[in-house]
Structure 1
């Protein structure tokens, strides 16, 4: 079982940046590129000093603790890291949804004329063009139908219902006074309905990344897909005794539970605190798991089931959508279990001719 790492907290942004990249290097190689990109982008974006430096340092230290706890065996936090890495939640999900909702540019004269007629009809009406006009709603509807039919489990978003597939039904024909609904509130209700559908959908991944994830889950990949082992911490040349000081002032002004909360067995992986009050020594953290290839495949398999790949249909109309679905292979019986079936007769072969129909 993993123990918390007693590493000094970073005091400068550069030190924090290095520790974040070091922790990200212990993630699975398939999930590491986006996490590395997010760390580097955030550091370069806020490289200059400003008034919010202290706030960003606190957020960076929190992210570092989460990554470290996930690498040490916290399955809940590791799953959240993987969900963000593969775009099931967080910033990458918004980026993938933005790519999904973009309408493709016209490829011929007929499509260009149709687009110009649509724009002219909007401009000649009583409203201006808005963001819903730029969405590919038919593509979004096809993805929502496929996701509802797939029956996903353990999704970070609420399930899609039948009413979500038809957002037009959310717009009533009349208001509460029995009069025709004004076009402006009708348009607002329609936009809110489409926004709810987009918030519940799981955006598709690129074909190469989706296939690579599926190969790992199905056991096809035999190469280096596991995270590297953690390098040992640097030790001082001369042995030093740890200097422990009892902070009696905290116990005098705060409740005992609040002071001891960082060293709680549920929080030890996140905080790295040491429990000095237990007579038997520093206890082991709970909810800490040892990562094995089988456990990694189970974690990535749960992510793969939430991930589709979406491509235009070969016939030219509609979309071809495939969801990750690991193959079910029952475990083989052991030698000790096979002895209970040794006395059973062999199954009879079915007749070759099949069942004959009765003649009337």
Structure 2
């Protein structure tokens, strides 16, 4: 009997997971952006496959692909881990479902975050774009020299380490008597261009990148030479902070498409609205009962009042073309593309224009129009009249 109860609970849990998967895919198909719909669909399926037992997989090829997946989040979990994390992952999926519903209802923060994830401004796709940006390139003047590509990075030799983050920098240069400057290596011209352009434009989602290079002290607080381990950790810390705040460039065709959506040159591919099912009444309704139900619904007190509704910028909006263009403009301001200049043989970063705020027009107003009222439009109180003292002879007469 206990085995039957355990099997029943496991079957019910599996059925709940299937319902959540279908609901998430259905809600993701209503997002008003084609790229976001594709991104969310792939992400949801990959995450659910990671918690699917191998014996329930559709084909052996899928099993081998998940076991050899590069990202740990998409690798298939062990059966014991799947059973242990079922409830927590179901709660997480339910939260994600509610978040997608709020985005489809027009809540600006939710929809903005989904577009940031889809266009690689944050989340997993951002680091996929960063992986392409961090690939080394042989400079133009060293392409004929094959031995230059095999030489180790300067910091590898200086700090006696083969860590990957040290390969992105040149040798330190003395800036002053107390500081050294470490620039990004010429083997990574695209990375160097994006970092410099983002610092010059002052573009960031959170905190800005302070400078396009690393400033590190020559000596420590005891005026001794900087230990190698601490110098290496300073480079590691600057690299981690910069990669966290860096906004990698989009592919040129995707950036051009986003720019066309912002300017209106390309139509926005809205999702087709779901057609609701029509209730079929086998028996004719009583008009008196229908009218009585309508009156009771209108007089119900469980409806939210105006005080409970959201107002301001955070309220749900109607998802229109104008609303989406303004949202695309905010995403485009955080995105760039790289273009190669043949004349100067260097990369250039092209960023989207920042959305301009409308200035409030103020004109001179005649003071006579608002005379006699205060700032709230209420009449000014006149001071009480002072009565004059009467003469005694007038009172006696």
TM-score normalised according to structure 1 size? 0.68
Which runs of 5 or more residues in structure 2 are unaligned? 1-13, 54-78, 170-183, 283-299, 359-397
Residue number in structure 2 paired with 1:68? 101
Structure 1 residue matching 2:35: 3-state secondary structure = coil
Q: Secondary structure at the match of 2:150?
A: helix
1:296 aligns with 2:317: no
Q: TM-score, normalised by structure 2?
A: 0.62
Q: Specify which of 113, 117, 130 is matched with residue 151 of structure 2.
A: 117
2:270 to 227, 244, 252: 227
Q: Name the CA distance, whole Å, in 1 between partners of 2:343 and 2:130.
A: 25
Q: Write the mapping of 1:136-147 to structure 2, written as runs, cut at 5 A.
A: 137-138=184-185, 139-147=190-198
Q: How many residues align?
A: 274
The one of 281, 293, 303 equivalent to 1:281 is: 303
* Ranges in structure 1 where 5+ consecutive residues have no aligned partner: 1-9, 240-277, 331-360
Provide the residue aligned with 2:86 in structure 1: 53
The answer to whether the 8 A contact 1:204-1:309 is kept is yes
Q: Tell me the distance in 1 between the aligned counterparts of 2:166 and 2:146.
A: 15
What corresponds to 1:19 in structure 2?
23
Alpha-carbon distance in structure 2 between the residues aligned to 1:16 and 1:235: 25
SS in structure 1 at match of 2:342? coil
Residues 180-234 of structure 1: CA deviation (Å, up to 9, x unaligned): 1112211111121122122111111111111101011111114xx2322421444
Distance in 1 separating the partners of 2:144 and 2:128: 30
Q: Which residue of 1 aligns with 2:41?
A: 36
For residues 338 and 36 of structure 2, what CA distance do their matches in structure 1 show? 20
- Label 1:237 to 1:112 Cα distance change in 2 as closer, same or farther (>3 A): farther
* C-alpha displacement of 1:327: 9.0
Q: 1:283/1:237 Cα in 2 relative to 1: closer, same or farther (>3 Å)?
A: farther
Alignment of 1:72-91 (within 5 A): 72-91=105-124
Q: Equivalents in 1 of 2:276, 2:138: separation in Å? A: 54
2:39 is paired with a residue of what secondary structure? helix
Over 3 Å counting, the alpha-carbon distance change for 1:186 and 1:133 in structure 2 is closer
CA deviation string 1:1-54 (max 9, x = no partner): xxxxxxxxx962222111111111112113222122211211222222612111
Report the Cα offset of residue 117 of structure 1: 2.6
Distance in structure 1 (CA, Å) of the matches to 2:86 and 2:43:
18
